[in-house]
Chain A
Amino acid sequence: MGRMTFRPALLASVLALTSAGAADFAKEVRPVLETYCFKCHGAEKAKGGVKLHEASDLAALYRDPLLWDKVLVELRDEAMPPDDKPQPSADERKRLIAWLDRALNDPDPLAVPRDPGKPVLHRLSKREYNNTIRDLLGLDAHPADEFPPDGGGGGGFDNNSATLFTPPVLVEKYLAVATKLLAATKPERLIVARPNPVLTKIDAAKNNLSRFVARAFRRPVEPAQIELLLQLFAQADARGESFDDAVRYALRGVLVSPDFLFRVEVPRGLNASPVSDYELASRLSYFLWSSMPDDELFRVTHAGTLRQPAVLEAQVKRMLLDPKARAFAETFAGQWLRVDELTTSAQPDAKRFPDYTPALRDAMLAEPVEFFHALVRENGSLLRLLDADYTYVNEPLAKLYGLDGVTGEKFQRVVLKDRNRGGVATMGAVLTLTSYPRRTSPVLRGKWILEQILGTPPPPPPPLVQSLPTNDKPKDGLTLRQQLEKHRTKEECAGCHKRLDPLGFGLENFDAIGRWRTQIENQPVDASGEMVSGEKFNGPAELKAILLKHKDIFARNVTEKMYAYALNRGLESYDVPTVRRTAKTLAAADYRVDTLVLEIVKSYPFQNRRGTVAVAAQ
């Protein structure tokens, strides 16, 4: 879909389309739903918590597009209605799918509400604080490592504004580190002017403060704020402190000011409106660097050219090539793929897996980051995350993967001749994270693929589920796989597990720390499976080939995740049209990283901010 312009003719045709769509819904869609779905998902029953009967028009779809997405997926996979219930005809199913697909994936932007989302004052996360201090003071001090951990939420990232709290213990830390950081900073970084015969003490202090504060607050500063900070300077001066120390004392006030600790954005008027250029610059730099803007970004912002499309694009491309973009790989990829949980969640049994050393664990953590960072630098196709003929390893990881000729701790790119390895799902971190201490878990691995790769998490298991043994020794003559298969014969389990388990079975050639294996407890590995769609595979390589066929689901999921990361919030129903359009653009551009990042940067929610009046569409 092209860029929307508000020409009256187009508007009229769009409106016509919309009303046609609404008529379609009442005439074509609802009756089919009524016949085949409402019995279990209607006024009387809401199986799985899903009710569809309240949808009386097209607008209902946009109120909960994610629910209708699931409906679409279920219909496509022919997972619903269940086999033992009346089935729609092939034609009915086809029409329903086509209609939902159009309404959801090619939505008319005027038919859906536009809303940049709820504004929440964003406290710098620990990582953002560390990086900002690094760039502001030139100190690689990582002071935030001693701060209490940040939580997370929204899209599953720790930069989610709503869940970044500021407890007293954190303010204590801010104060404590401010003094020490300033003491450790090279004087020439803080003090550019000293009093001399033509420059009074106060004016010299003012010069230093003005320069520093503008960078620390990431915007031009009102004189009144400088005057306030000068009071601190004057206090220290009166105490008899040296000029430099008195300036440092005033800067302590800067480092604990909310203008520094928070990414302050000021609402302009009652309605949604574009953020200021400086606010946009910060959005950009915290998105791609988890840090403050650099001099070059400040320069174009100050020049007022940041919003020119060519300038914006050039800045984004420059920033992605900057080494600081590693923070993007670490945070976005690390948390999207959940591999950063390796240190806290995964605990392979030390006796069973003596090879799982801290060095190997750290290597596992680094691999997806190295891989993603390289993808960003090369502007590669995001599909390489699904499958690639290369990866990044160091010696401990190469040993685990059975690759020769890699020595040392440093990571290097290696070609993977065995195509069973390659892509994030076959990386050690993921395979370990999705295992129990003493055995693999096809269920957890399947769930990981559904959630992290395809973005279609399964519903929770019912209470009182059958649990499986903690190791993979056969039980009652059944292998772990056979026990799982037995589990799936139960009706209440089958719905999800026929979706989960096969994905995990496909990875059974990798043990609980991601090592290749051909036998489990002296039985040959059975890594074959059949998807709900009927697609069959045997082994990781074939599984990945099937995942690649579903690349558009994957691309949409990456798009959603990256939007949530960039916007510092979870996505809402009003974001769905934006996300869908971006996903389409991405597919048309060979799934290049740059395209996705640029589309997000140019998007309505990234560029705009709600006003002080809540949007009516809410």
Chain B
Amino acid sequence: MKTTPLSRRTVLKGLGATLCLPWLEAMRPASALAAGAAAAPVRMAVLYMPNGVCPGKWNPTGAGRDFELSPILQPLAPHKDEVLVLRNLWNAASNTGDGHYVKTGGFLTGTTITRTTGSDLRSGAVSMDQVAAKRIGHMTALPSLELGIDPPATGVDTNVGYTQLYGAHISWNTPTTPLTKEINPRAAFDRLFRSNTPGRAAEAAKDRSVIDLVLEDAKRLQQRLGKDDRQKLDEYLGSVRGVEQRIAFDAKRQSETVKSDGLAEKAVKELGARIDAYADPARVSERKGDHTEHVRLMLDLMVLGFWTDSTRVSTFMFGNAVSGRNFSFLEGVSGGFHEISHHKNAPEAMAQYERINTWHYAQFAYMLEKMRAIREGERTLLDNSMLLLGAGMHDGNAHDPHKLPIVLAGRGGGTIATGRTLAYEKNSPLTNLYVSMLKRMGTPVEKFSDSTSELAGLDDANFKGLENA
């Protein structure tokens, strides 16, 4: 990498010791403190896995509280009491188009994406994470945090006539604008915690004047442009306003007299150091061996983002749709993920598929472990969160959109009775789960795409779902 005048390290070096603000101290408005009634906010994350899961190895046995984890879900054993394994959900709108893109781009919208090679990109709806972010995002430094591992490819999948962009995004800011995910742990770290650097406040105030002026100037431009152009300018203006809000937010937060949380500070510093080691230019060339570490850094960023209440909404993509990542670093696996997912019932390929799937749940368990260890009053950060881990298909060999593998971890602030597997009627809308999650985020919707109701029984510990499913 070329030397830039923008030293990333200075950001870390300058990380203030007193300005790392976990939710309790930082975020509770003074009035709420006085009332002593503030509850920790509920956080929500969606983690997406490409290429589906190995058939016959994902479904748990049993129903309700009485269930056994499947082989792929084994890494969740220490967290069995903190997860819900949800079965028979699907996204009906994805039962068309192609094998992958339509099941990725529409994963959080519940819609059918428009087949296009690049013009008129359209998911058809705002994704459910953004529905929440738009309503509660003003309460945190970042309305939402989109993270991932793979860069979007520039190409068009000419086989199926979709731009590969669809396979690289699950978060949609508008029905026509996907939200770029950050794949560089260093950049994501700086974005989350950079406002803590000394001297940043003064610069931010100056930036704000610049932004005001740019907004004024852009209005003039808006009038000169045609309708088609204006869409892109509006997108720019929306983002500029978002930055303006963040600057205002940071300024307000810094002016509040707050007590810092030593543990969170320490965790931020440690993560910063790990990211430095990971991003060390001398090691970048061997990066490919570091896939697990890359994923874990991103998951840690989510955890810290939640812990410090820098954001309450986040999405993460383990890989882009059709990811061919070479998982040979796993014992007993040789080859690329997508290639292996087309196993054609060959036992050897299926065994490899299963190992790759299991690895994904092991990373999820790593995240749950971290969140469980963080206390928030009487509860843990995990108790106060909802983490959805899922894929847009079940068996990747058949691109099967039925029976999506969905796990929901965390108790949503005490509103979800975990420790169960729940099977629903065949082809129940996945969007029912989204309706339930949005309600718990304090951002309820009456209906989301094809939803028919809330997902039954999430808060009822005695609800078992269908037996013998």
Shortest distance in angstroms between A582's beta carbon and chain B's nearest beta carbon?
Answer: 21
**CB interface residues, B 245-287, toward A, < 8 Å:** 246, 285-286
- Report the bound CA distance from A493 to B178 in whole Å: 36
B447 at the interface (CB under 8 A from A): no
Asked if A148 and B181 sit within 8 Å, CB to CB, the answer is yes
Asked if B98 and A232 sit within 8 Å, CB to CB, the answer is no
- Report the bound CA distance from A264 to B221 in whole Å: 9
Using CB atoms, name the residue of chain A closest to B216. Answer: A228
Q: Which chain A residues lie closer than 8 Å to B181 at the CB level? A: 148
Asked if A146 and B187 sit within 8 Å, CB to CB, the answer is yes
Asked if B232 and A123 sit within 8 Å, CB to CB, the answer is yes
- Report the bound CA distance from A231 to B335 in whole Å: 60
**CB interface residues, A 244-292, toward B, < 8 Å:** 249, 252-253, 256-259, 261-262, 264-267
Asked if B236 and A261 sit within 8 Å, CB to CB, the answer is yes
Shortest distance in angstroms between A247's beta carbon and chain B's nearest beta carbon?
Answer: 14
Q: Which chain B residues lie closer than 8 Å to A351 at the CB level? A: 328
Q: Which chain B residues lie closer than 8 Å to A154 at the CB level? A: 117-119, 156, 163
A235 at the interface (CB under 8 A from B): yes
On chain B, which size bracket covers the interface? 35 or more
On chain A, which size bracket covers the interface? 35 or more
Q: Which of B38-46, B147-155, B437-445 participates in binding chain A?
A: B147-155
Q: Which chain A residues lie closer than 8 Å to B191 at the CB level? A: 169, 172
Q: Which of A23-31, A70-78, A134-142, A539-547 participates in binding chain B?
A: A134-142
From known contacts A149-B183, A153-B163, A438-B334, infer whether A258 and B119 are also in contact, taking CB-CB under 8 Å. Answer: no
Q: Which chain B residues lie closer than 8 Å to A345 at the CB level? A: 153, 324
Shortest distance in angstroms between B164's beta carbon and chain A's nearest beta carbon?
Answer: 7
- Report the bound CA distance from A421 to B266 in whole Å: 57
Q: Which chain A residues lie closer than 8 Å to B384 at the CB level? A: none
Q: Mark A574-616, 1 if CB is under 8 A from B, else 0.
A: 0000000000000000000000000000000000001110000
A150 at the interface (CB under 8 A from B): yes
B239 at the interface (CB under 8 A from A): yes
Residue of A148, A180, A249, A437 touching B328 (CB-CB under 8 A): A437
B418 at the interface (CB under 8 A from A): no
Asked if B344 and A467 sit within 8 Å, CB to CB, the answer is yes
- Report the bound CA distance from A80 to B207 in whole Å: 64
Query: Chain B interface mostly helix, strand, loop or mixed?
Result: mixed
A415 at the interface (CB under 8 A from B): no
**CB interface residues, A 224-253, toward B, < 8 Å:** 224-225, 228-229, 231-232, 235, 249, 252-253
Residue of B165, B227, B326 touching A151 (CB-CB under 8 A): B165
A158 at the interface (CB under 8 A from B): yes
Asked if B180 and A146 sit within 8 Å, CB to CB, the answer is no
- Report the bound CA distance from A119 to B349 in whole Å: 48
Instruction: Identify the interface centre among B99, B232, B339, B399: most chain A CB within 10 Å of its CB.
Output: B232
A548 at the interface (CB under 8 A from B): no
Q: Which of A318-326, A401-409, A458-466, A503-511 participates in binding chain B?
A: A458-466
Using CB atoms, name the residue of chain A closest to B209. Answer: A235
Q: Which chain B residues lie closer than 8 Å to A180 at the CB level? A: 5-6
B243 at the interface (CB under 8 A from A): yes
B235 at the interface (CB under 8 A from A): yes
Residue of B168, B209, B228 touching A118 (CB-CB under 8 A): B228
Asked if A257 and B217 sit within 8 Å, CB to CB, the answer is yes
Q: Which chain B residues lie closer than 8 Å to A231 at the CB level? A: 213
Q: Mark B174-190, 1 if CB is under 8 A from A, else 0.
A: 00011111111001000
- Report the bound CA distance from A345 to B289 in whole Å: 14
Asked if A166 and B236 sit within 8 Å, CB to CB, the answer is yes
Q: Which chain A residues lie closer than 8 Å to B328 at the CB level? A: 349-351, 437
Using CB atoms, name the residue of chain A closest to B145. Answer: A169
Q: Which chain A residues lie closer than 8 Å to B184 at the CB level? A: 146, 148
- Report the bound CA distance from A140 to B2 in whole Å: 8
- Report the bound CA distance from A71 to B243 in whole Å: 51
B8 at the interface (CB under 8 A from A): yes
B407 at the interface (CB under 8 A from A): no
Instruction: Identify the interface centre among A139, A570, A611: most chain B CB within 10 Å of its CB.
Output: A570
Residue of A168, A340, A471 touching B334 (CB-CB under 8 A): A471
Q: Which chain B residues lie closer than 8 Å to A152 at the CB level? A: 118, 152-156, 163-165
From known contacts A150-B154, A172-B246, A464-B344, infer whether A347 and B325 are also in contact, taking CB-CB under 8 Å. Answer: yes
B160 at the interface (CB under 8 A from A): yes
Residue of B158, B236, B349 touching A258 (CB-CB under 8 A): B236
- Report the bound CA distance from A123 to B325 in whole Å: 31
Q: Mark B202-227, 1 if CB is under 8 A from A, else 0.
A: 01001101110110111011001111
Asked if A258 and B233 sit within 8 Å, CB to CB, the answer is yes
From known contacts A148-B183, A152-B164, A172-B246, infer whether A158 and B228 are also in contact, taking CB-CB under 8 Å. Answer: no
Q: Which chain B residues lie closer than 8 Å to A119 at the CB level? A: 226, 228-229
Q: Which chain A residues lie closer than 8 Å to B468 at the CB level? A: none
Using CB atoms, name the residue of chain A closest to B159. Answer: A460
Asked if B154 and A166 sit within 8 Å, CB to CB, the answer is no
From known contacts A163-B118, A253-B213, A570-B118, infer whether A341 and B153 are also in contact, taking CB-CB under 8 Å. Answer: yes
Q: Which chain A residues lie closer than 8 Å to B340 at the CB level? A: 470
Q: Which chain A residues lie closer than 8 Å to B71 at the CB level? A: none
Residue of B5, B229, B239 touching A171 (CB-CB under 8 A): B239
Shortest distance in angstroms between B291's beta carbon and chain A's nearest beta carbon?
Answer: 10
Q: Which chain A residues lie closer than 8 Å to B116 at the CB level? A: 153
Q: Which chain A residues lie closer than 8 Å to B156 at the CB level? A: 152-156, 570
Asked if B326 and A349 sit within 8 Å, CB to CB, the answer is yes
Shortest distance in angstroms between B106's beta carbon and chain A's nearest beta carbon?
Answer: 17
Q: Which chain B residues lie closer than 8 Å to A436 at the CB level? A: 335-336, 339
Shortest distance in angstroms between A217's beta carbon and chain B's nearest beta carbon?
Answer: 11
B173 at the interface (CB under 8 A from A): yes
Asked if A470 and B334 sit within 8 Å, CB to CB, the answer is yes
B343 at the interface (CB under 8 A from A): yes
Shortest distance in angstroms between B46's beta carbon and chain A's nearest beta carbon?
Answer: 18
Q: Which chain A residues lie closer than 8 Å to B230 at the CB level? A: 121
Residue of B8, B98, B235, B243 touching A146 (CB-CB under 8 A): B8
What are 19 A-B pairs at a CB distance below 8 A?
A: A120-B119, A121-B232, A142-B4, A145-B2, A152-B156, A153-B165, A155-B156, A171-B240, A179-B203, A224-B220, A231-B213, A232-B210, A252-B206, A257-B214, A438-B335, A460-B99, A463-B399, A467-B349, A570-B156
6 closest residue pairs by CB, A with B: A153-B118, A152-B154, A153-B163, A347-B326, A154-B118, A457-B158
A152-B152, A358-B285 given; name 15 further pairs at CB < 8 Å: A148-B184, A150-B154, A152-B165, A157-B154, A168-B239, A171-B242, A229-B213, A231-B213, A341-B153, A344-B150, A344-B151, A464-B397, A467-B344, A470-B335, A610-B226
